[in-house]
Structure 1
């Protein structure tokens, strides 16, 4: 299955190592969602028409999913999980594909809206 990443799993970011063994398929891909800075070192998103975020798409090997779920605080219980898994369709230069994306469960993590929907640009602007 394919995964859309938008924060610390992006190339060059702090948790990218979790994707070791995955294959980058597409970069600069956009989905309809709002991005938030959680103020604890990583972003969170919620799917929403009219807002766009940017990320990368990876082909994920089966053995990587357990590490991803642990990182994202996902067990399948929306009452206690930090994130849920959603399936969305994204447009690529090879056509429309389905991807999994981790979306926010814990609304208290919605600290600061990131209007650009671009985690790397946002973090760079904070460092200046």
Structure 2
């Protein structure tokens, strides 16, 4: 994880330099703002990965002599039967469409977004998967 953190930090430095150059030369506020926001996002990810790398053991990607097979194993737990992302995607699509069509469409998208969000967060806290 250490190498990914360094990559994002260097990417953020590059984006910051390009944002300054773009802002000075173009005098266009939308693109300059987007580049500064991209700088902020990449610096946050870089610091998070660097901070997390200090707390966990070194991975195979941190070893220069490692093979691809050294990183094999369990990646994590992924929900195999969740319908909540579909609700979030449809609600998000309606929400972004409401900006172009009309804000009245947000009345239809907000319940879908809330149902999908709460369903996804509390997916394993109900029914037979609930811990007591």
Give TM-score scaled by structure 1 length: 0.21
Q: Please tell me whether Structure 1 or Structure 2 has the larger radius of gyration of its CA atoms.
A: 2
Q: Which has the higher strand share?
A: 1
Give TM-score scaled by structure 2 length: 0.21
- Give the number of the structure with larger relative contact order, counting CA–CA contacts within 8 Å between residues 6 or more apart: 1
Q: Which has the higher helix share?
A: 2
